[in-house]
Amino acid sequence: MAEVSQTEAAGLAGGVDDALNPTTIANPVPDDVGRRVLATLAAPAGALPLIALVGALLFILNLGGYPLYTKGEPREAVTVFDIVHGGGVVLPMRAGVEIPSKPLLMHWLAALVALLGGGVNEWTVRLPSALCAIAGMIACYLYVRRLFDQRAGLIAALLLGTTFQYVQAGTGARVDMTLTFFLELAFFEFLMIAEGVSQRVNLLYLAIAMAVLTKGPVGAALPLVVAGIWITLYRRWNLLPRFRLMRGALIVGILGGGWYIAAIISGGSAFVHKQLLAENLYRLVPQGAASVGHNHPFYYEEAALLGGLMPWTPLAALAVAQFFRGDRKVDPRFGYLLVWFFAVLVFYNLPQSKRGVYLLALYPALSALVAILLCDTLAAPGGFARTITVLSRATGVAFAAAGTTAIAGITILYLWPALMSWILRQCGIVVPELTGELRSAVGVWHLTSPLIGVALVALGMWLIRSVPSLAGLAASTAAGFVAIVLAINLVVEPSVARTLTLKQFAADARRIAGPSPVGYFGNLDYDFAFYNGRDLRLTSPIDPAAPALIVSPEDDWKLVAPRLSDNYIVVLRSNPTDLDGSGRMLLLRNRASSPAPPGAPAAPKINA
């Protein structure tokens, strides 16, 4: 052991290049300390508080600190708003004009939070996703600990929570994280029951029913596909009576199917076409997928997975190498994780309509696989010495560069804001207000913001200069990613959101309109629909009964014939809703109506 340490020290003394030279590099110092620390932390008394703390930092901190501004979040938030404000529970109409595109479990949860928390707002509509994300991390630890090893359980939980795709879904008001949590319960519970560790068949089928109520038939299809493949591969047909299939069919049918029957009665053929056909069947058909969007080639999901798994993609590749180099046997439990991973991946490769977030259902399995194989690597010190050294140095450089960039950005914001605006313009961001919002956000977190940058630089330098070890690399990867996510959640995304949101425009439009009705023309903007605070009334400038006031996307209004658009004047023009300066909204008043109230803001006429 002493010779290894001295050799490594000599390599480091000669610089990074010399350390990577095959004639001087030796195996990293065995992860004795890392293994001892991991063994201590992996016990429930240490692991559960650690996972909860990391989850709170990633998903709860500043969750409601910035407005909705994208298309997806307000689209779901409008449905929550209608549930809370008397639009119905079975099938509320989005903004009073549109059938929801997904089942309503996530929306019911958000509505319950809103009723308990004092109203529908950014925090209440995002909280179900955040809580499901943290619960998913805890469930991953508990299941992997019980089925495999508690060290692997802790690594799997932290790995799962610190992947790009998981964080993105866990901080947004979307249905994907709710679906992921209940599918995770269903997948793991099946294996627990099959291996005789659990008899909770009711929990299994309840989780499947909740998945169906979150995103439709896929919530039942995926567990059935994975279970069927695994049972076939391992010839475990004798397990079928253990799962009480009739009871399961009743639970899923009554809970999931019951809502579908009620929704069909309420929404009729329009509901069937939108939720059952467009959102499910048509996505499997090439011609139909083109009409529902997200049309991508077969290999798209693999590329999305490599990006979504960051920053753990390199260590996942190391885990794959360990699998082929080591002596890990594909027993039924490990084999189930492999079936879970590949079945979900292939399943979502088949439809023409694809998104990276669809693969979230396989992330718990992949996290567990990587964690188990990394533990195998830790148990066999000396393996992959060169790879671990290269990854440690590269990760250190990346974190140091990120921290340096953050510190430089803060300095420029305070001393040379015009220079920051110029830098952003070179990146295609032409909205000048973003610079001011960034400076304001940094001011709110005036101590935390620079400390995050300093911490990233320190972490990066430690990885560059220290003796490489797998335990140190894994811990640093998680810590560095948490720091980067904090910077995004506290400064970057709030600044972008406040720059692009229609929250102020909607408030100004309500103030100008007062009790008067307001029509809406053009493609539905969900951000305006949410902050408008009341159902929309669709109209058109050719409608003789159109209200005097009309809200319209500027791009749609430019398509109106001049003989019609000239009958209206622009009362209010919103900020852009895209960073390239496009996507503005207009509040227009019919010239034949009464004039605008004194003090109402005006904007120049838009050329058609």
Q: What is the mean pLDDT of residues 38-51?
A: 93
Q: What is the mean pLDDT of residues 153-182?
A: 97
> How confident is the model at residue 9, as a pLDDT?
37
> How confident is the model at residue 352, as a pLDDT?
78
b/e map 276-291, b = 16+ CB within 10 Å: bbebbebbeeeebbee
Cβ atoms 509, 572 nearer than 8 A = yes
> How confident is the model at residue 284, as a pLDDT?
64
Of 61, 190, 28, 74, residue with least CA distance to 133:
61
pLDDT band, very low/low/confident/very high, at 286 (cuts 50, 70, 90): low
> How far apart, in whole angstroms, are the C-alpha atoms of residue 605 and residue 300?
44
> How far apart, in whole angstroms, are the C-alpha atoms of residue 145 and residue 251?
28
- Three-state DSSP state, 101: coil
Task: Using the predicted structure, report yes or no on whether residue 606 has a pLDDT greater than 50.
Answer: no
- Three-state DSSP state, 80: helix
300 or 218, greater pLDDT: 218
Of 489, 453, 477, 470, residue with least CA distance to 158:
477
Question: Which region among 29-38, 115-124, 454-463 has the lowest average model confidence (pLDDT)?
Answer: 29-38
**Residues near 399 by Cβ (< 8 Å), separated by ≥ 6?**
456, 457, 459, 460, 463, 476, 480
DSSP letter string, 495-564: HHHHHH--HHHHHHHHHHHTTS-EEE-SS--HHHHHHH-S--EE--TT-TT--SEEEEEHHHHTTS-HHH
> How confident is the model at residue 274, as a pLDDT?
81
The torsion region of residue 533 among left (phi > 0), alpha (psi -120 to 50) and beta comes to left
The structural domains of the chain, ordered by start, are 1-30 (no CATH), 33-374 (no CATH), 384-500 (no CATH), 503-590 (3.40.190)
For residue 311, whether the previous peptide bond is cis, meaning omega lies within 30 degrees of 0, is yes
Amino acid identity of residue 362, one-letter, is L
- What are the beta bridge partners of residue 519? 537, 550
Q: What is the mean pLDDT of residues 511-526?
A: 93
Cβ atoms 324, 199 nearer than 8 A = no
pLDDT band, very low/low/confident/very high, at 2 (cuts 50, 70, 90): very low
> How confident is the model at residue 18, as a pLDDT?
38
pLDDT tens across 365-396, in order? 999 999 999 999 988 766 788 999 999 999 99
Distance of CA 145 to the CA centre of its chain: 25
Task: Using the predicted structure, report yes or no on whether residue 285 has a pLDDT greater than 70.
Answer: no
372, HSE (Cβ side, Cα atoms, 13 Å): 27
Task: Using the predicted structure, report yes or no on whether residue 107 has a pLDDT greater than 90.
Answer: yes
Cβ atoms 275, 216 nearer than 8 A = yes
**Residues near 300 by Cβ (< 8 Å), separated by ≥ 6?**
354
> How far apart, in whole angstroms, are the C-alpha atoms of residue 474 and residue 447?
27
